[in-house]
């Protein structure tokens, strides 16, 4: 009987991946170092007052990924290809979306790598009491080499399994740390009442929280992974369940990060601007064990986000051309090299990682309204067949369009303010 146990466990793991595979990419992509930075900053400044922002964003994530997947289930077409094929000036619109997302994501790759290096360096210095001058270079090489080896030969099934592991580690660490540091359940529930703190940059942080959760790149990634799984109209029910699990997981993980900050830094009156600041102040307030769990979660978040972020460029090109994704194609490998190269520069360029993340958010915020409007139009066309939008789904699409327009406005304004501050400095 024992001889069959590993096989049963393997089959159970494969069954879980078959059910939740596309959603794993969304969780891994969305909960990265940029998301952690934003949620930690909000939690350290205002406790759990902005819980409602995360909840509302995750509601739109659920419907957004479900509707983008719904079109691909119905037609077999990925979204960029559909825009190119079915819209007037579709080629120009889809090229603009593709270029904006790729530029934004590659800027984010540099920022994510820089944040991971800063976090690991700070953690190592606290564990051993010292470090050496070449540590940032060693850490950067280790991160970039790991990501390069994974992406160079990684097939979709392998990437899916790896992301399942990284998301599991990240989720366990963040949730356990949150349970150790939870401030007040009453405070969390009170944060469900909408309201924005009356401070100069509060609106921008609210937009950032929404932007790191409900992003254009994630929506296109959803369509591409649905097609890679080979799902069709018969999998509509599974796709809705998968979208729900993804949105709920993002909700709990984002709130867990806010709890970590609210239970320590907010109570101590020590707001942070960057994730590395949280690492510096978390140990004396919460202890070495909680700090280590949080750092391991951050590394899991960084790696699980870097992989889909670099993949998004060749995947979007395949999406635009209407071709299957091929990790071993020359185009795919070229962008792997470029993506890893961008990542390598991150820790050594004279721009703060958070500034790079702000630029990423602004570029993606501009693209999001184009994306929500496009999917609304596509899901109302005759060739969608039985999965054509109903009246309730159209109302949800219009709400998503309005939400994306508000996000886009605040994202652009926030980006302009950030650039002005940098120029003045």
DSSP one-letter string for 105-152 = HHHHHHHHHHHHHHHHHHHHHHHHS---TTHHHHHHHHHHHHHHHHHH
**Of the candidates 400, 109, 126, 151, the residue with the CA atom closest to the CA atom of residue 286:** 126
Contacts of 318 (CB under 8 A, 6+ apart): 78, 224, 324, 325, 326
Dist CA 308 CA 114 (whole Å) = 17
The end-to-end CA distance of the chain, in Å, is: 68
Q: In whole angstroms, how far apart are CA 43 and each of 227, 260, 289, 316?
A: 37, 8, 20, 34
pLDDT at 13: 42
Dist CA 259 CA 43 (whole Å) = 7
pLDDT at 154: 62
Domain 24-424 has CATH 1.20.1740.10: yes
pLDDT at 397: 94
Q: In whole angstroms, how far apart are CA 121 and each of 112, 141, 263, 303, 307?
A: 14, 13, 24, 16, 21
* 10-residue mean pLDDT series, the chain (425 residues): 48 48 64 74 82 90 93 93 92 90 80 84 78 85 89 68 72 76 69 77 74 82 85 89 88 84 69 64 62 77 80 88 82 89 82 55 72 94 91 94 84 68 64
If you search the block for the tokens 């961008």, which residue do you land on?
342
DSSP state of 72: H
pLDDT at 157: 64
**Of the candidates 26, 32, 36, 35, the residue with the CA atom closest to the CA atom of residue 61:** 26
DSSP state of 347: G
Decide if 283 contacts 60 (C-beta within 8 A). no
Dist CA 164 CA 111 (whole Å) = 23
Separate counts of helices (H) and strands (E) for the chain? 17, 0
Cα 103 versus chain centre, distance: 16
Dist CA 142 CA 160 (whole Å) = 22
pTM for the full predicted model = 0.80
Decide if 290 contacts 175 (C-beta within 8 A). no
> What is the DSSP track for 191-254?
TTS----SSTTHHHHHHHHHHHHS-HHHHHHHHHHHHHHT--GGGHHHHHHHHHHHHHHHHHHH
Decide if 375 contacts 60 (C-beta within 8 A). no
Of the CA atoms within 13 Å of residue 172, those in its CB half-sphere come to: 9
DSSP state of 182: -
Backbone angles phi, psi at 262, to 5 degrees: -70, -35
pLDDT at 24: 61
SS3 category, 338: helix
């Amino acid at each position: 009987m024992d001889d069959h146990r590993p096989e049963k466990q393997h089959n159970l793991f494969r069954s879980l991946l078959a059910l939740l595979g596309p959603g794993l990419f969304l969780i891994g992509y969305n909960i990265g170092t940029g998301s952690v930075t934003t949620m930690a900053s909000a939690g350290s400044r205002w406790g759990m007052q902005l819980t409602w922002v995360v909840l509302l964003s995750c509601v739109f994530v659920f419907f957004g990924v479900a509707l983008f997947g719904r079109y691909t289930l119905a037609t077999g077409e990925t979204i960029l290809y559909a825009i190119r094929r079915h819209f007037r000036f579709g080629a120009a619109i889809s090229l603009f979306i593709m270029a904006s997302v790729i530029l934004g994501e590659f800027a984010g790759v540099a920022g994510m790598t820089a944040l991971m290096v800063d976090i690991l360096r700070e953690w190592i210095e606290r564990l051993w009491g010292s470090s050496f001058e070449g540590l940032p270079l060693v850490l950067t090489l280790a991160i970039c080499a790991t990501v390069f080896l994974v992406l160079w030969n990684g097939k979709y099934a392998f990437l899916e399994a790896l992301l399942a592991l990284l998301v599991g580690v990240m989720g366990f660490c963040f949730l356990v740390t949150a349970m150790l540091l939870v401030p007040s359940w009453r405070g969390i529930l009170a944060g469900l009442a909408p309201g924005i703190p009356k401070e100069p940059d509060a609106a921008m942080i609210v937009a950032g929280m929404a932007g790191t959760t409900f992003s254009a790149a994630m929506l296109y990634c959803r369509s591409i992974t649905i097609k890679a799984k080979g799902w069709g109209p018969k999998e509509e029910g599974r796709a809705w369940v998968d979208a729900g699990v993804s949105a709920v997981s993002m909700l709990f993980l984002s709130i867990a990060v806010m709890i970590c900050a609210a239970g320590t830094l907010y109570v101590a009156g020590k707001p942070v601007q960057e994730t590395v600041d949280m690492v510096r102040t978390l140990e004396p307030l919460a202890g070495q064990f909680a700090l280590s769990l949080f750092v391991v979660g951050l590394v899991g978040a960084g790696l699980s986000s870097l992989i889909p972020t670099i993949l998004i460029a060749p995947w979007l090109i395949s999406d635009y051309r209407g071709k299957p994704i091929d990790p071993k194609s020359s185009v795919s490998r070229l962008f792997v090299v470029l993506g890893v190269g961008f990542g390598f520069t991150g820790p050594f360029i004279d721009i703060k990682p958070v500034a790079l993340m702000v630029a990423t958010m602004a570029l993606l915020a501009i693209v999001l309204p184009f994306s929500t409007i496009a999917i609304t139009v596509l899901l109302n066309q005759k060739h969608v067949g039985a999965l054509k939008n109903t009246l309730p789904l159209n109302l949800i699409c219009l709400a998503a369009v309005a939400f994306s327009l508000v996000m886009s406005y605040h994202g652009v304004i926030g980006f302009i303010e950030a650039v002005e501050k940098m120029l003045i400095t």
